């Protein structure tokens, strides 16, 4: 039996610090956290409200031994204390990395208003930057042209470049963790971020997402994790938008990936053959099972991309 987490209800009020927040909906969730949309009253203009996101650490377990009690507190059975402890370490470290990147690159990094320990777990209050969560964008769009797909991927690459330039891997790139803005993108959820200059391997718990996590992450092969690991996830996101489905394990083995791009694919209709061919080349290279066979850095991907103006 798979247990569902009991998330907070719309219109539920929670107090973090001295501020009371009203939950207005669920923006998204993953294996470790849930992000709610919320509001709080302005202290001066009482009739006005501020709109924010509230991120709650609430790890998922199949047997439900991390759960919310009747008082709204997150509780943990002894069997999952290790998972809960590691999740708290990841949340704390991710928050630390977020604040450091925000200090040095505020225009490229999603904000962080404040963080708290409350209701048995950790919370972060995040500003609303506008734009749209990529998962919701994909679900709402009837079709997305190849040009638009490439514009989205370029925004994601630009956002990721800030991490890599600071020696940090995001390691949790997927549509639900990407905010697409008019002139850029933000990568959100830093719980899996890995500081390559100050690694903490002994306490590191990977966020594994089928369809997006690179093979070395799923195998927990620490020594193989590198910049190519994040770029694999970027290409996995691109694969989903191009094909309309998440990447499966069977498709990345052998030559199966090449079968995912028939000429009849909706994305390839009414575009030059050379553009479709270049798209397939990028995905075949970026989704290779071996890191050293992929794009190993953003400059390498940019160089490959710049070799063809037909696609980008």
Q: Which tens digit of pLDDT belongs to each residue from 105-135?
A: 888 888 899 999 999 999 999 998 878 889 9
d(CA 149, CA 37): 27
Residue 310: predicted pLDDT: 45
Query: What kind and span of H or E run contains 122?
Result: strand 121-127
For residue 187, the cross-strand partners are: 178
User: Quick one: tokens of 310?
Assistant: 């037909």
d(CA 192, CA 94): 7
Q: Output the 3-class SS for 7-46.
A: CCCCCCEEEECCEEEEEEEEEEECCCEEEEEEEEECCCCC
Counting other chains too, the contacts that 92-101 makes at CB distance below 8 Å and 24 or more residues apart are: 92/122, 93/193, 93/195, 93/200, 94/189, 94/190, 94/191, 94/192, 94/193, 95/122, 95/124, 95/190, 97/168, 97/190, 97/193, 97/195, 98/190, 98/193, 100/166, 101/162, 101/163, 101/166, 101/168
Residue 178: predicted pLDDT: 93
Instruction: Assess contact for 13 and 20: CB atoms under 8 A.
Output: yes
**DSSP strand pairing (178-181 vs 132-133):** antiparallel
Residue 1: predicted pLDDT: 44
With a cut of 70, list the residues of the chain below it in pLDDT. 1-3, 199-205, 304-312
d(CA 279, CA 153): 12
């Amino acid at each position: 039996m798979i247990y569902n987490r009991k998330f907070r209800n719309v219109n539920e009020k929670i107090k973090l610090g001295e501020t009371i927040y009203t939950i207005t909906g669920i923006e998204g969730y993953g294996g470790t956290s849930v992000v709610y949309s919320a509001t709080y009253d302005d202290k001066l203009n009482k009739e006005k409200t501020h709109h924010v996101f509230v991120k709650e650490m609430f790890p998922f377990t199949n047997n439900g031994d991390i759960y919310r009690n009747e008082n709204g507190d997150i509780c943990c059975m002894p069997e999952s204390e290790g998972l809960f402890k590691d999740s708290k370490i990841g949340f704390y470290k991710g928050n630390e990395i977020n604040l450091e990147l925000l200090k040095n690159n505020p225009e490229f990094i999603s904000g962080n208003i404040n963080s708290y320990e409350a209701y048995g777990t950790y919370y972060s209050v995040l500003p609303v930057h506008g734009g749209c969560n990529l998962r919701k964008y994909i679900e709402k769009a009837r079709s997305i042209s190849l040009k638009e797909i490439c514009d989205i991927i370029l925004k994601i690459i630009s956002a990721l470049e800030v991490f890599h330039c600071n020696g940090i891997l995001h390691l949790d790139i997927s549509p639900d963790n990407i905010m697409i803005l008019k002139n850029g993108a933000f990568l959100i959820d830093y719980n899996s971020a890995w500081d390559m200059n100050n690694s903490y391997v002994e306490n590191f718990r990977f966020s594994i997402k089928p369809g997006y996590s690179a093979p070395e992450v799923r195998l927990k092969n620490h020594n193989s994790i590198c910049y190519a690991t994040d770029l694999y996830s970027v290409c996995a996101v691109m694969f989903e938008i191009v094909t309309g489905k998440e990447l499966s394990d069977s498709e990345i083995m052998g030559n199966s990936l090449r079968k995912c791009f028939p000429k009849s694919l909706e994305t390839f209709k009414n575009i030059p053959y050379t553009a479709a061919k270049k798209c397939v080349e990028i995905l075949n290279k970026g989704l290779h099972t071996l890191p050293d066979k992929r794009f190993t850095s953003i400059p390498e991907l940019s160089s490959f991309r710049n070799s063809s103006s037909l696609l980008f």
